[in-house]
Chains A and B, each alone.
Chain A
Amino acid sequence: MISNKLFGEKLQMMQQALDLRMQKQGLIQSNIANMETPGYKVRDFSFKEALAEATGNQKQITLSRTDSSHIGGLDIQPQSFIKVEDREVDLDEEMLKLSKNQLMYQIATSLVSKKLGGLKSAIEEGSQ
């Protein structure tokens, strides 16, 4: 379809990056909430690996967004690479992760806006 060719894979990848950042945020917040829970171990995953897997899989997955089970859902299940580490929560480390994850998310949203803006101008300028 025209629309997919217009937007391309880059935008798709950026959206997946945003989804993964939200997932990571959830784990970091879980770690912080449970920092004093006896026996609780840190949960996390490698963002790089997760994104590589997501973009690799994208070629095989075509989802209809109107399928109600997928409204608001992730294209891939990240549970496969979420690791339960063998250590308790280190608050300083989690706070650092929190800041970094938030920053990366905000960078990604800005980049998405720029990309969309670029497409828009390209269409408008092309009509002269």
Chain B
Amino acid sequence: MDILTAMEISSSGLRSQRARLNVASMNLANVNTTRTIEGGPYKAKSIVFAAEPVSSFFSVLEQASSELHKVEVTRVIEDDKPFKEVYDPSHPDADENGVVRMPNVDVPEQMVDILSARRAYEANVAAVESVKNMALRALEISGR
């Protein structure tokens, strides 16, 4: 294990949490989007994380069966929960019964997700800081 591998692991964490943040923000931004390009209301999206084994950049021998794992976003999936139905005949997208189908975005859920993602993001930042300090300290090894 070396600093570059450590950076790879934590930066994958930063990337993934940022992607999660982006998706949650997008969901919130579209909470009222009743008409998408594909037609129909906006469907809430969520991302799927998966752990991927990391091999050291350098010694293939060492890391053949390593337990080091980075994280990657493997998919963005659409939520198939039913749309919320709201009675609002004046709405341009109301059907013949005056019912509007609203995006299936659960606002509190997205807020919690954003907070979670931020916490996880900051934890990965702390991890980078930590290994960086270790490397800087190692450079100071000397007999003086």
A-to-B contact residues, CB < 8 Å = 18, 21-23, 25-30, 32-38, 40, 43, 69-74, 77, 79, 82, 84, 91, 94-95, 98-99, 101-102, 105-106, 109-110, 112-113, 116-117, 119-120
* Chain A contacts for B70, CB-based, 8 A: 30, 33
Given A26-B5, A26-B9, A79-B66: A33 touches B71 (CB 8 Å cut-off): yes
Q: Mark B86-107, 1 if CB is under 8 A from A, else 0.
A: 0000000000000000000000
- Rounded to whole Å, the gap between the CB of B56 and the closest CB of chain A is 8
- Rounded to whole Å, the gap between the CB of A93 and the closest CB of chain B is 11
Given A26-B9, A30-B9, A98-B130: A37 touches B67 (CB 8 Å cut-off): no
**In the bound complex, do residue A37 and residue B50 qualify as a contact, i.e. CB atoms below 8 Å apart?**
yes
Q: Mark B128-144, 1 if CB is under 8 A from A, else 0.
A: 00110110011011111
**In the bound complex, do residue A73 and residue B59 qualify as a contact, i.e. CB atoms below 8 Å apart?**
yes
B-to-A contact residues, CB < 8 Å = 1-2, 5-6, 9-10, 12-13, 16-17, 20, 48-51, 54, 58-59, 61-62, 65-71, 116, 119-120, 123-124, 126-127, 130-131, 133-134, 137-138, 140-144
A-B pair count, CB < 8 Å, reads: 132
**In the bound complex, do residue B133 and residue A29 qualify as a contact, i.e. CB atoms below 8 Å apart?**
no
**In the bound complex, do residue B50 and residue A30 qualify as a contact, i.e. CB atoms below 8 Å apart?**
no
Given A22-B2, A116-B143: A40 touches B130 (CB 8 Å cut-off): no
A105 to B58, CA, bound (A): 22
Given A38-B49, A95-B126: A109 touches B71 (CB 8 Å cut-off): no
**In the bound complex, do residue B59 and residue A102 qualify as a contact, i.e. CB atoms below 8 Å apart?**
no
- Rounded to whole Å, the gap between the CB of B67 and the closest CB of chain A is 5
* Chain A contacts for B66, CB-based, 8 A: 26, 79
**In the bound complex, do residue B68 and residue A116 qualify as a contact, i.e. CB atoms below 8 Å apart?**
no
* Chain B contacts for A28, CB-based, 8 A: 127
Given A27-B67, A33-B12, A37-B49: A74 touches B62 (CB 8 Å cut-off): yes
A101 to B133, CA, bound (A): 11
**In the bound complex, do residue A40 and residue B6 qualify as a contact, i.e. CB atoms below 8 Å apart?**
no
Highest count of chain B CB atoms <10 Å: which of A28, A37, A40: A37
Chain B residue nearest to A31 (CB atoms) is B69
